[in-house]
Structure 1
Amino acid sequence: MAVTAEGLRAEIEATEQQVREAKTRGQALMSESREAEERQQLRLELAEQQKILAAQEAVNIAEIEWRKGIDADLLGRRPEKAPVRQLAPACKSENISFRKLVTEGEYIWRIDGFSWVRSGLRQSRQDRLESDQLLVGQEAFFFVYDPSGRTGSLALVCTGGRVAFRYKVYVKARSGAFVQWGKRGDVIHDDPSYRTYGPDVEGSDAAVGIFGLTHEELLESEWVQNDALTAKFALEVRPHGPPDIERQSLCQVLEVQENTLSCDMQALWESGRCCDVEFHVQEEVIHAHSQILCARATYFGSLFRSGLQESISRVIVIQDCSAVAFRTFLHFLYSDDMAKVQATLFEVSLHAADSPGGSSRVAMTQQLLAVSHKYGVTKLQLFCELQLCKELTVSGVCSILAQARLCEAKRLETACFFYIKDHVAEVVMLQDFKDLLRECNAVGVKLSLFLGGVPDEEADAVIE
C-alpha cells in the first residue's frame, strides 16, 4: 500500500528533526575535539617543561658537587702563570684584566632537510627547532630556528643568570664562505629564566628573517644548498666574577718564580727522562716514573710492593682503557691540571662530530671515570662524575647508571635516578634498561625505592 502524502510529510519532518539533532551533536563533538586538542597541546607543553626541569636539576646537582669540590679545594680555577713575588719593591704598577674569565668558541649548526622544517614542526606541534645544549666555559646555550620569525628566526638562547657575552651569527653561502648576518651582539644576561638573542629578535634593527628573507624565500636563496642551511655562531662568554688584578713593581728588583712544580713535573714526564715503568696500552708504550705513581695513587704503591710480576718487570699491560684516555690520566697524575682534561674532552667531542666512528665525549669521560676509580684518584673521579651529570640523555642514562654502580659513584647514581624519574615512560621502553635490570637486580630495587621517595641511606640499607 502506497504511503500517503501526509505520511511522507510526517516522515520528512521527522528526518529534518534528526538532521538538526545530528548537526547539534556534530557541533558539540567538534567543540569536544577542540578541547581535546587543547589538552594535548598542554600535555606537550608540560612534557617540554618537565624535560627542561630534569635537565636543570641534573645541572643543579653537578653545580652543588662542583661547589663542594671548590669549598674543599679539590676543584676550581688554577693560575695559568706562576705569580711573581717582589722583594722590597720601591714603586708599583697595576693591571686590571676583565678578559681572563672570557671563554671563546665557534659552533656550527647544520639543518638538513630544510624544506621540511615547517611541516615537521607542525607535526610535532612545536613553534621552533632547537639544538642540544652546549657549554661555553660553564655557561649553557642552545640555538633555535623559527620559520615564522615570531621570536626571531635564527637565534641563540642563554640559560644562565648574570653572564656577559658577545655573539656573531654567520650563514654559509653557496660559495662555501660564511657571511656575517647582522651586527655583533653585546649582551648582559641578568635573568634566571631563558632568553632569546639574535639579529632579528624583538628590539633589534634588522628586518625579520635571515638577511630579511622569509622561510619560503630562504629556500630559493643562495643560503640553502642541497636542502641544508648551515649556520655558525661565534661566542665570547664571561661569567660573573671580579676582574683579575696583577700588581708589579716598576723597579728592577729580584723576582722569585713560584708554583712551577706542575709545569716541571709535566715536562719531566713528556721528556721520558729517568722513567722506570712501561705501560702497554693498545699498541702504544707509555713511560712513567714509579715514585711519582706511588705518590699520586695508592694502587701503584701497593702494586710495586706486592712481589707480583709487574713489580719486578715494571711492565704493566692496560686492557680496559684507550691510549688517549690513559695518557690524559697520567698527565693529570703528573700535573694535577684539570684544564688539560677538559681540553682533551673538548678535542674528542670535535673529532666525534667530524668522524661518525670516533669516540664521543661521554665515552671518553666514562673511561676516565673507570680508570680514576680503579687507581683511587678521587679528585679526577669527582670531576668525571660532574661532567657525566651534565651529559645525561634518554639513550645513554642506562650505560652511565651501570658504570656509576660499578665505580661506587653515589652522586652520579642519584643524578641518573632523578633523570629516569622525569623520563620514566621513555627509559623503561629501552632494551638497555631491561638488560640493566636483568644483570643487576639491585638497580631495579633501589630505583623503585627512589621513585617511592625512600631516602638513599634507607634504600642502601634495604639492598644490603
Structure 2
Amino acid sequence: MGTKGLNACETCSRYKGNLFCSVCVRSAVSKNVTALRFLREYESSPLNKDFRGDIKFVGWDGEEVHAHKFIMVGRSMVFRSLFDSDMQEKEKGIVLCPDTSAPVLRSMVNFCYTAEIKFTEEAPAEEVLKIAHKYDMKNLKLVCENSLIMGISEKNVYELVMLAQKYDAKQLDKAIAKFFKDGFDVVYPIFVQRLCSDL
C-alpha cells in the first residue's frame, strides 16, 4: 500500500510511499473501503434503468447501457485504448457492440462497478465470456470460466471445448481436459459423435 493521499506518519513517509505501521495501514484500508462503498452506491446501480454515465454501450438490440469512462478504463486496456485515442468512441462517448445484447453489456458494466455478477438466461456465462474476451477483461473472463466449469457435463462438453478454444479460456480448457480424462469411456463416444455430425 502507498501513502498517496494519506496523512502517513513520518516513518512511513520516509520509505518511498510504503506503509509500515499498523495505524497507516488501517487508515489506507479504511480509505479504500470508503471508496469502494461510494462506487457501489454511486448513482444507484448500473443495472438500474435510471443510471447515467458519460459513455454508453449499444448492443444489437439498440438499448443503451450507461457507464463512467474512468471505471471502464480501469478494468480494460482495450477501453483505455478506445477512449485515449482519436477514435469515434472517444468523440461521441458511444461504443457500438453489434455482437451482443444489452443484458450482457449491463452484466459487464455492473461487474466493473461491483466485482459481482449474476448469470441469467438473458446474460449467460457463455455470452459474457465472449465480451470479456473481446475487451480483455481478465477478472470477468475468469469468473465466467469458473461458472462454466461448475456446469460441465456430457451434454455440453463439446460446446464448451469449442468455446474454450475460440476465446482462449485456459482455466475452462484445463477443467474440460480433466473431465475428459475422468470420464473418458462415457465422454469420448459422445464427443466423437458430435464432431462427426458437424462435418
TM value normalised by structure 1: 0.32
Aligned-partner Cα distance in 2 for 1:291–1:276: 9
Once the two structures are superposed, the pairs formed by residues 77-96 of structure 1 within 5 Å of their partners are none
Residues 396-427 of structure 1, C-alpha deviations (whole Å, 9 max, x = no match) = 11211111112211221122233344211222
Q: Which residue of the other structure, out of 87, 90, 108, is the alignment partner of 1:308? A: 87
For 1:279, the equivalent position in structure 2 comes to 57
Letter of the 1:260 partner, please give it: T
Distance 1:263 1:284, change over 3 A: farther
Q: Which residue of the other structure, out of 180, 185, 189, is the alignment partner of 1:425? A: 189
Q: Which runs of 5+ in 1 are unaligned?
A: 1-255, 349-358, 439-464
Tell me whether 1:404 sits opposite 2:164 in the alignment. Answer: yes
Once the two structures are superposed, the pairs formed by residues 42-441 of structure 1 within 5 Å of their partners are 259-269=33-43, 270=45, 272=51, 275-281=53-59, 282-336=61-115, 338=116, 341=117, 344-345=118-119, 348=120, 359=121, 364-421=124-181, 422=184, 423-430=187-194, 433-434=195-196
Structure scoring higher RCO (CA < 8 A, sep ≥ 6) equals 1
| Deviation at residue 365 of structure 1 after TM alignment | 0.6
Secondary structure of the residue aligned to 1:280 is strand
Distance 1:392 1:261, change over 3 A: same
Aligned-partner Cα distance in 2 for 1:279–1:266: 20
Q: Which runs of 5+ in 2 are unaligned?
A: 1-29
Aligned-partner Cα distance in 2 for 1:427–1:319: 32
Q: Which has the larger radius of gyration?
A: 1
Letter of the 2:37 partner, please give it: C
| Deviation at residue 311 of structure 1 after TM alignment | 2.0
| Deviation at residue 327 of structure 1 after TM alignment | 0.9
Task: Judge conservation of contact 1:420–1:427 (CA < 8 Å) in 2.
Answer: no
Distance 1:267 1:410, change over 3 A: same
Task: Judge conservation of contact 2:65–2:105 (CA < 8 Å) in 1.
Answer: no
Residues 155-186 of structure 1, C-alpha deviations (whole Å, 9 max, x = no match) = xxxxxxxxxxxxxxxxxxxxxxxxxxxxxxxx
Residues 357-406 of structure 1, C-alpha deviations (whole Å, 9 max, x = no match) = xx38xx70111111112112211211211111121122211211111112
For 1:462, the equivalent position in structure 2 comes to none
Q: 4+ residue stretches of structure 1 with deviation over 3 A?
A: 269-273
Count of aligned residue pairs for this structure pair: 160
- The structure in which a higher percent of residues are strand is 1
Residues 314-339 of structure 1, C-alpha deviations (whole Å, 9 max, x = no match) = 11122222322211111111122x3x
Letter of the 1:276 partner, please give it: D
Aligned-partner Cα distance in 2 for 1:314–1:257: 30
Task: Judge conservation of contact 1:278–1:288 (CA < 8 Å) in 2.
Answer: yes
Task: Judge conservation of contact 1:325–1:367 (CA < 8 Å) in 2.
Answer: yes
Secondary structure of the residue aligned to 2:110 is helix
**Percent identical residues:** 26
Residues 42-83 of structure 1, C-alpha deviations (whole Å, 9 max, x = no match) = xxxxxxxxxxxxxxxxxxxxxxxxxxxxxxxxxxxxxxxxxx
Letter of the 1:333 partner, please give it: C
Aligned-partner Cα distance in 2 for 1:257–1:313: 34
Residues 335-355 of structure 1, C-alpha deviations (whole Å, 9 max, x = no match) = 22x3xx1xx22xx3xxxxxxx
Aligned-partner Cα distance in 1 for 2:36–2:136: 20
| Deviation at residue 308 of structure 1 after TM alignment | 2.0
Distance 1:387 1:289, change over 3 A: same
CA RMSD of aligned residues (A): 2.4
Task: Judge conservation of contact 1:294–1:301 (CA < 8 Å) in 2.
Answer: yes
